[in-house]
Amino acid sequence: DDDDDDDDDEEMSNEHSARKHNRKDDEVPSDDELDLSNMSDLMSGSDGSDVSDGELNLSDEDAHANVSEDSDSIVANIEDGMAASESAQTGILEEITLKNFMSHRHMNMKFGPNVNFLCGPNGSGKSAVLVAISVCLGASIGFTNRGGTIADLIRNDTQTCEIRVRLANRGTDAYQPERYGDSIIVERSLFRNRSTKSQYRLLASDGTTVVNKTKKELNKILDTFNIQIDNPCVILMQDTSREFIASARAQDKYKFFQKATQLEKMSHDYIDSVKHLGLAKSSIEQKKAVLPAMAKEVALRKQEFDAAQSLVTLEETVKKLVIEASWADVRDAAEELSKLEHKQSQAADALAKLDETEARVLEMQRDRQADVEEANREISRVQLDLERAEHNVKTAHRESHQAGRGVREATANIRSHEANQGRLQKRLKRILDEIKKAQQAIEQSRNADNSVIQQRIQLLKQKLPEAEHQAAVTSQRHNEVQAKAQRVGEDVDALQQVVRDKEQEVRQCQSRVQRLRQQQGNRLRAFGDRMPALMQLIEQNRNRFRHTPQLIGMNVLIKDKAWSVAIESSLSQLLDQFVVDNHDQDAKLLRQLAQRANVRVNMVVCRFEERYQIPPASLPRVPDAPSIADVVDIATGPVFNALVDQRKVERSLLVRDKRRAYELVSRDSNLSSVFLPNGDRIFARNGTQVHLPSHVQQATKLADNVDQQIVELEAQIAHLTPAIHPAQERLNEAKSALARVRREVADCRREESRALSQLENLRDEIRDLEQEAQEKLAETEPDISELLESRDSIAQSIEEARSELSTLQEAEAAAKETLRPLLEAEQAAAAEVDQATTQLEKAQATLLQATTQLENANRRLQIVRQSKAKTVGNARAFEESRLEAERRLEQSTARAERAGERIDSERSVADLKEDIRCHQARLEKERRGADDTDVITARYVDAKRKYNKTQLDLRHLKELCMNLDHDLESRIEKWAAFRKVLAKRTRTYFNMFLSKRGSTGSITFDHEAGLLDINVQMDTSLSKETATQTTKSMSGGERSYATVALLLSLWEAMENPFRAMDEFDVFMDAANRKLTITLLMECARFNKSRQFIFISPLSVVDIETGPM
């Protein structure tokens, strides 16, 4: 297979032959197809200039003289010319560089101007150098006999290779030295991929300037230097010469001789010229045959042309009417354009009014938006006050509850003592009543039998211990069950709180996962679902902004993730806001885009300037606590400036310890706020330290690893969810236990009440019986001293109870005094809550009103914009109609101007068209049966032109064929004479080179039959019949020497500036090799204007080196 780039050569060489080879031999080419210039090219040199006899070194006389010249005179003349030659200046090889070519990874070699030997063992890459020279200078892959494809020439471990050859470009024959310099570098790159063609680059002598990249330019350079790269003798590969000598066919040897001397190419050129000349003569005969018919056609067309001239007057009338109608159409188009321009002016006025209305509505919308924002800020402030007031209420309620518990205990003690005092009073009264009854009934009961009463008293006293024990047991059990019920109740409350906390935590985690999934893949979704659409609109309209608005949250990056919650809590809703440069342009456009994206945006107007330079004196003097500005990366200056203005990030510190935070707030006046890791904010207000809890539990807007947060939250949900069910079961069990215990408490309370009632009844009955017995057993003068003592004792107890009651009442008064300010504080806090709630309701009402007004403004703006859009549509329609009218006017004017000069007419276009139709009908009637005048005129002119051209072409063809026939015959004769001279010179040189070894030989040519035979007499001492040998009967060394002699003879017939021979001595013995090298060196020495490259696997250390 040949190289891919051979297609380029075929395109250039076969440009004219493509059509002729596709045509049958018996077909005659037409005038356009017959290319006589090709024959002229064949008669000229390869560069397009005519080859004179002098350039062939052969005139008619010289050719016959040289044929008859004897061998001695030829040798003498040649040696004289060789000795006088100078060193080569153009076309020789100066240097070659190979990269990844065959066995060479990287190789650079420089050549001498005359003789070069390349030596090395087999497989070392000597022959690859000659293959690289051939391929780089344009030879096909098959020509080198080293493979079928490009891939065979590229190292196995690479995909491409590069060859670079430097050619000398000095002297009078230099090729464009002003562009290339004193040398030309040819570079060719080969690729293993067959879809990629090889590439040529022609560089100047500096090695970097690329002058051209086409193979056509390379072919011009090779023609200028007379480098015949497709000549098998220029670079003789290993097997080519041996095949030539060893071939048994004389025809093959003759063909090799013709290729080496370029006679074959000249022969093919002459054959093609003869064929083209025959085609030209056939064309002449065809043109002679058609001339009479063409003359008859011209006469017929002349008659038609004369008959068509009578219709000219009528056509002129129609033409004048067409011109008048065209200018009437122009008049109508101008009137229509004037009407449309008036309508467009009216639409523009209406649009201006709508623009003013829109501006007013937009201003009102901005005012309402500002009101809404102010209401939102007021609501946020009131909510903070409300949360603080509710916190104060809870604190005051807790403290008042604790104080009230003391008051209640004191009150209970007072009531207990009052009850005890009442019992003592009752007891004293009963004793006094008993004393009186005893005195009255002493006489009646003195003699009564008391035995029954005593027995009854004894029986009841026996039952008394058991009743007391039963009352104590039931009371103790009631207390135990009551304590148990309280504990179970506390457990139920704790479990309920645990379940509620876990469910709330799961719901919060699920909500955060949902929000994080929305922003997954697009961080902008953390700022709202419609934020990506708004950012896309901003990007599409960025050229309309003076400075592109910047979303604050997208320009803030946290360095230390431990402060994520604190920083997001501190920046709060500011992360959702945009920083814009100005009110009049950027803010207005951003609101319009936000409305289109259905996004409500807040903005911070801040000039887009460099970052603020914060004076160190204004910063907090706390080296161990970083500020918010220290732990975040803020991408742009405007965002940094906005955060400094709005949140004072340079003066807000981050502290891990709450106590340390309180200490810093009270100490440093430059400090704005302190934030804890959980987001709580601590700051000073009017000398009071304020602690605001954070509402941010986890950073979402500033989160940079959303996927990791989702995984952690899902793991947390998976951990919490299974724990809810056991907790719920434990809660249900605790509730069941609490219900059982409460029923048990009720049962115990009833048992205790029954036992206490039975005990009290039993004691009362015993006292009554004892009293009755005493009354009966008393004497006539009853002894009531005990009753009197009891009376005195009870009276004393009553006095003591009164004193203790007074003490308890004082304690109760003190407790109430303590409770009173707490209750007042609780009422004040509740009043603050009520006030904050009232303010919140007012702020919410204000927000509702502002929102309603904003919605009304939005609706009004929408109506105005709809009207504006409709007006703009009408204006656009008027504009399109006006443009269409202008185009119609221009087209009508152009048609009218093309038709003729302006004709003012009052007639309508329809009347003129009707008049034209009538005249055209008349003209058509007269033309019926005849062709159009223009067609008739064109046919007449065309027939006359073809007839005259055919006569002129026939005359020129006859003259050209005569000249070409004579020149071709002369040049073929000179070519035959030149062939004989080359054959004679080859024989003479061959015999002369053999004589250096003491041998003789002959070459027999048969030019008519195309045969060539070689005979060599290696030993001249023997008879000619016994010593003469054919090439097949020679030894290896003899055949190699004969090969070298023949190739040197052929080289003398070549004009190539360099020539190469591969492994010329591979089959030679030492003696033949020495003779051969001597012969090569002598030939090279006498041909200093030529460059020789010899390749040998053997050593050449005995050859002297030199500058040549």
The answer to whether 886 and 337 have CB atoms below 8 angstroms apart is yes
**More confident: 204 or 513:** 204
Quick one: pLDDT at residue 607?
A: 85
Structure confidence by residue, pLDDT tens digits, 868-885: 788 888 888 888 888 888
**Segment 139-156 mean pLDDT:** 79
* pLDDT band (50, 70, 90) for residue 1033: low
Under the banding of pLDDT at 50, 70 and 90, the label for residue 221 is: very high
Quote the pLDDT of residue 714. Answer: 77
Local confidence band at 238 (pLDDT 50, 70, 90 cut-offs): low
Residue whose token pair is 């200093």: 1088
Nearest-angstrom CA–CA distance, 844 and 376: 8
Who has greater pLDDT, 890 or 446? Answer: 890
pLDDT value at residue 73: 47
Looking at residue 44, its pLDDT comes to: 41
Q: pLDDT tens digits for 117-138?
A: 999 888 888 888 999 999 999 8
With beta carbons less than 8 A apart as the criterion, state whether 413 and 806 touch: no
pLDDT of residue 180: 94
Q: Would you say residue 931 has pLDDT above 50?
A: yes
How does pLDDT run across 23-45, given as a tens digit for each residue? 333 333 444 333 434 444 434 44
How far is Cα 173 from Cα 221, in angstroms, rounded to an integer? Answer: 11
Cα dihedral sign, 259-264-269-272 = negative
State residue 441's pLDDT score: 60
pLDDT at 187 over 90: yes
Q: Quick one: pLDDT band at residue 70, thresholds 50, 70, 90? A: very low
Residues with Cβ within 8 Å of residue 563, at least 6 apart in sequence: 631, 654, 675, 677
Give the C-alpha separation, 613 to 398, whole Å: 50
The total number of residues written for the chain in this structure: 1108
Mean pLDDT for 87-111 is 90
Residue 206 has pLDDT above 90, yes or no: yes
Q: Is residue 57's pLDDT more than 60?
A: no
Q: Summarize the confidence of residues 753-775 as an average pLDDT.
A: 77
User: Mean pLDDT, to the nearest integer, of 1074-1101?
Assistant: 83
As a whole number, mean pLDDT of residues 804-823 equals 72
pLDDT of res. 521: 61
Task: Check residues 189 and 478 and name the one with the higher pLDDT.
Answer: 189
Count of helix runs (H) and strand runs (E) in the chain = 25, 22
Are 1108 and 1088 contacting, i.e. CB atoms less than 8 angstroms apart?
Answer: yes
What average pLDDT does this structure show over 614-642?
85
pLDDT of 46 reads 38
- Higher-pLDDT residue of 57 and 1106 is 1106
Q: What is the enclosing helix (H) or strand (E) of 722?
A: helix 706-777
* pLDDT of the residue at 64: 38
Q: With cut-offs at 50, 70 and 90, classify the pLDDT of residue 404.
A: low
Residue type (1 letter), 774: Q
The 3 state secondary structure assigned to 68-136 is HCCHHHHHHHHHHHHHHCCCCCEEEEEEEEEEEECCEEEEEEECCCCEEEEECCCCCCHHHHHHHHHHH
pLDDT of amino acid 1002? 81
pLDDT digits (tens, 9 = 90+) for 527-548: 777 888 888 899 899 899 989 9
User: What value does the mean pLDDT of the chain take?
Assistant: 77
CB 939 within 8 A of CB 304: yes
pLDDT in tens, 484-537: 888 888 888 888 888 888 888 787 787 777 767 766 666 677 777 788 888 889
DSSP helix/strand/coil, 980: helix
pLDDT computed for residue 866 by the predictor = 83
Q: Which of 214-218, 319-323, 358-362 has the largest mean confidence?
A: 214-218
pLDDT > 90: percent of the chain = 9
- The HSE-up count of residue 370 (CA atoms within 13 Å, CB side) is 7
Copy the structure tokens of residue 544.
Answer: 């309309």
Q: What percent of the chain has pLDDT over 70?
A: 80
Q: Please check whether residue 235 is in contact with residue 226, taking contact to mean a CB–CB distance below 8 angstroms.
A: no
What is the DSSP annotation of 449-469? --HHHHHHHHHHHHHHHHHHH
Of 21-25, 395-399, 637-641, 958-962, give the lowest mean pLDDT range.
21-25
What pLDDT does residue 312 have? 65
The 10s digit of each residue's pLDDT in 241-299 is: 566 555 557 787 788 777 777 777 787 777 888 888 788 878 888 877 888 888 888 88
Q: What is the pLDDT of residue 447?
A: 47
- The angle that helices 451-519 and 706-777 make with each other, rounded to 10 degrees, is 170
Where do we find the tokens 């009479």? 292
What is the C-alpha to C-alpha distance for residues 1040 and 1019, in angstroms, rounded to an integer? 16
Residues 651-666 have a mean pLDDT of 86
Does the pLDDT at position 167 exceed 60?
yes
Q: Is the pLDDT of residue 1074 over 60?
A: yes
Query: Poorest-confidence range of 202-211, 466-475, 1063-1072?
Result: 1063-1072
Do 1040 and 1074 contact (CB within 8 A), yes or no?
no
Q: Rg of the chain over CA atoms, in angstroms? A: 64
